[in-house]
Amino acid sequence: MPKLGIVKVKLDREVNCYVVSCATTKEAVVIDPGLPADKIVEQAAGLNIKYILATHCHPGHVAGKDDVKSVTGGETGIHSADAKQFLRSADRYLIDGDELEFGEFKLTVIHTPGHTPGSLCFSVANHAFVGDTILAGGIGRQMPETDLRRQMMSIGTKLLRLPPSTALYPGHGPATSLEREMAQNPIFRGAPAPR
């Protein structure tokens, strides 16, 4: 069984960045390159960064991507809907179902619009990096571009398709699991109610 390394880097605005690596090959992916970039670069030492991906383009989750890339290399990736919404660009525009390989692992892109139109979740083995789409005990802070109804639909149709034992790594706060959230998260009890 190949071994996966997951390091959480706490950034400004209480954003969680994750450095996800294949222990065998040292190839790795950075998820949510906010600021300060040097904190991320520090964690990337000794790794070969293949991709630098943002779950969405709120500045706290993406503002450091070019600074990280200039040191570590790797391809940056976001969804085109968020590129449009937030006037950001990247090396690569990700779509639902894309598979990105790093070392002995494969990261699958899941488009989960709602929090922002281009919000993405990334699943790797039995782990999912979910940005602000779902947090332990809640969801990410609603912003003017948030479409709550769409977000609930994304959770219901995309995330609930993952095995219940999937570990979740949100963009803010502690890690959790899908089954734990299904049991405890108020969004599964109809609040806040999607209209």
Residues that bind Zn ion (CB under 5 A): 58, 132, 140, 171
Residue nearest to Zn ion (CB): 58
CA-closest candidate to residue 55, choices 158, 131, 116, 114: 131
**Least CB distance to Zn ion at residue 81 (A):** 14
**Least CB distance to Zn ion at residue 91 (A):** 22
Is residue 6 classed exposed, middle or buried when 0-12, 13-18 and 19+ CB atoms within 10 A define those classes? middle
- Radius of gyration from C-alpha coordinates of the chain: 15
- Structural contact between residues 2 and 101, judged by C-beta atoms closer than 8 angstroms: no
- Structural contact between residues 30 and 41, judged by C-beta atoms closer than 8 angstroms: no
DSSP 170: E
- Comparison of 4 and 37: residue with beta carbon closer to Zn ion: 37
- Comparison of 58 and 127: residue with beta carbon closer to Zn ion: 58
- Comparison of 114 and 171: residue with beta carbon closer to Zn ion: 171
Backbone angles phi, psi at 35, to 5 degrees: -120, 155
**Least CB distance to Zn ion at residue 165 (A):** 25
Beta bridge partner(s), residue 101: 106
- Comparison of 103 and 170: residue with beta carbon closer to Zn ion: 170
- Comparison of 74 and 171: residue with beta carbon closer to Zn ion: 171
**Least CB distance to Zn ion at residue 45 (A):** 26
Is residue 163 classed exposed, middle or buried when 0-12, 13-18 and 19+ CB atoms within 10 A define those classes? exposed
**Least CB distance to Zn ion at residue 143 (A):** 6
CA atoms within 13 A on the CB side of 54: 34
